[in-house]
Structures are given as C-alpha cells and as structure tokens.
Amino acid sequence: MTLALTFGLLIGVVLGLTGAGGGILAVPALVLGLGWSMTQAAPVALFAVGAAAAVGAIDGLRKGLVRWRAALLMALLGSLFTPLGLYFAHRLPEALLMVLFCAVLVIVAWRMLSQVRGDHGTGIDHGWQQKNCMLDPSTGRLKWTVRCSATLAVVGACCGFLTGLLGVGGGFLLVPAFRQLSDIRLHGIIATSLMVIALVSGMAILGALHAGVRIPAEGFVFIGASIAGMVAGRAVSAKVPAKGLQCGFAGLCVAVAVYLLVHLAAG
C-alpha cells in the first residue's frame, strides 16, 4: 500500500506540472513498482490519470484556461477510437505491448528535448505563421477553419487509440501537438489537454468496467494518491521553470524505457 501511495502521489504531481506525463508514467509505476502486468496496470492507470486530470480540468475551467470546444471535439474522436485500441490491446502479446510502450516513451523524450532546443530559452515559437489552429486576436478564441477542425480531430483520434492500446492518458501527445499546431499559451494548452484526458479516459474506464475489469484495493490507493498529487502539482506549476521541467521529464522517460526493456529481457 505504501508503494501504491508513493507512486500515485508522484504521478499526480507530474501530471499537474506538465499535463503530459502522468499517464505515460503510471503504467511503468504499476508494472515495475507493484509487479503488475500491462493489462492489469492499464485500467488502474487510466482511472488514476482520468480522475486526476478531471481535477485539473475543473481548475482550468474555473480560471478560464480551457478551450472547451476544442477539448470536446478531440474527446469525441478519442472516445470513438479508444475501443479500437482496447481491441488490439487484448490481442497483442504482452512483450510487444511493452516494446511499443517503450518506443512511445523514447518518442516523447525526443519531442520534449526538440522543443527545448527549438525555443532557445525564449518560450516563443517563431514558426507561428504556419500553425494550423490560430487564435482570433479580436476575440481571443480559436478560428474554426476546416484545417483546424481536421487537425484537432486527428489528434483526438490518435490520443484515443493510444489510450485504449497502452492505457495512457494521451497528454504526452496532446501537449506537444497543441504547441506545434496552435498559438494557444502553454497554461491553456495544459488545461485543455487535461480536460481531453479526463473525458477520453472516462470513456475507456467505463468500457473496461463493462468488460468485467475489477480494480483491487491497492489500485484505489494509487488513484486517490494521484488526485492528491495533481492538486499539489497544479498549485506549484506556475513557479516551476518550463525548460528544466521538460528536460527532466525527457530524461525520466528515457530512463524508464531502458529499465522496462531490461526488465523485459531479464524476464
């Protein structure tokens, strides 16, 4: 129970700080820390990340940071593609799922480091003219062009598929994609991503429970701790340097991927 509490707190804090890392680290925490299989860990990780993300999304809505129309569109597409991911998750070998998960971890780390190098410490993306989704300067709202709608739909669909396949929340995809494809401020990106994660994860959880998945007591401890960690992470997120946070998170992703592969090879 102590390990479940500790790992849950850490996952919640990371999710609150980044809007991206909770889901992708929740599964390794359960697999390596508690000795669960990927298929056992995935629904508990989704429940924890979804609940924690909901807390963050509510906070973002209260502060007016969530682009809720964009979040609903991505969540709708994500919910449609989550069952497809679940279908493959229950038919692919455990070892293959683990390798795919490690590949995603490395890709996330590479994307994080690429963004840090691209920002050159300014936090400004000078390629803003080419972004698919732009804010209207007069209203502060997204310009709903066909290009923007299609972009958000594709991102949402990919997020949903990976949520079902690997039991991740999808924030690791949403946050970098939002930064690359829109000119929304980072705090708004994180808040919107949290809302999408909460909605997509919620649908995936309902599907898993309907399929007969049961969550053990240890899992509920992990979930509760994740929510508490999310609250703490959101409280200090504005005070943490974004560049240092991204570098640290990228290093952690690579370390976890290597450890998972070593664990898989040894097993």
Give how many domains the chain has, as a whole number.
1
- Alpha-carbon distance of 192 to 102, in angstroms, equals 26
Contact (Cβ atoms closer than 8 angstroms) between residue 18 and residue 249? yes
Checking if the pLDDT of 122 tops 50, the result is: no
**DSSP string covering the chain:** -HHHHHHHHHHHHHHHHHSSSHHHHHHHIIIIIH---HHHHHHHHHHHHHHHHHHHHHHHHHTT---HHHHHHHHHHHHHHHHHHHHHHTTS-HHHHHHHHHHHHHHHHHHHHHHHHHHTTTT--TTGGG-SB-B-TTTSSB---HHHHHHHHHHHHHHHHHHHHH---SHHHHHHHHHHHB---HHHHHHHHHHHHHHHHHHHHHHHHHTT----HHHHHHHHHHHHHHHHHHHHGGGS-HHHHHHHHHHHHHHHHHHHHHHHHH-
| Mean pLDDT score, 63-84 | 90
pLDDT single digits (tens) 172-229: 778 777 778 888 887 888 888 889 988 888 887 887 777 777 888 888 998 898 888 8
Lowest mean pLDDT among 1-5, 28-32, 115-119, 176-180: 115-119
Asked whether residue 69 carries a pLDDT value surpassing 80, the answer given is yes
Q: Which long-range contacts (CB under 8 A, 24 or more apart) does 113-118 make?
A: 113/246, 113/247, 113/250, 115/176, 115/179, 115/246, 116/243, 116/246, 116/247, 116/250
For residue 200, what are the contacts with CB-CB under 8 A and spacing of at least 6?
50, 74, 75, 78, 79, 82, 156, 159, 160, 163, 169, 170
Share of the chain above pLDDT 90, in %: 7
More confident residue, 124 or 89: 89
CA distance 111 to 128: 18
What distance in Å separates the CA atoms of residue 135 and residue 195, rounded to the nearest whole number?
A: 19
pLDDT digits (tens, 9 = 90+) for 125-148: 444 445 788 888 888 788 888 988
Q: Which two tokens stand for residue 18?
A: 């980044």
pLDDT digit string, tens, across residues 213-253? 788 888 899 889 888 888 888 787 767 776 777 788 788 88
Question: pLDDT value at position 10?
Answer: 85
Which range of 27-41, 94-108, 239-253 scores highest in mean pLDDT? It is: 94-108
Task: List the domain range (segments joined by +) for residue 43.
Answer: 2-266
Residue 120 is predicted with a pLDDT of 45
Is the full-model pTM beyond 0.85?
no
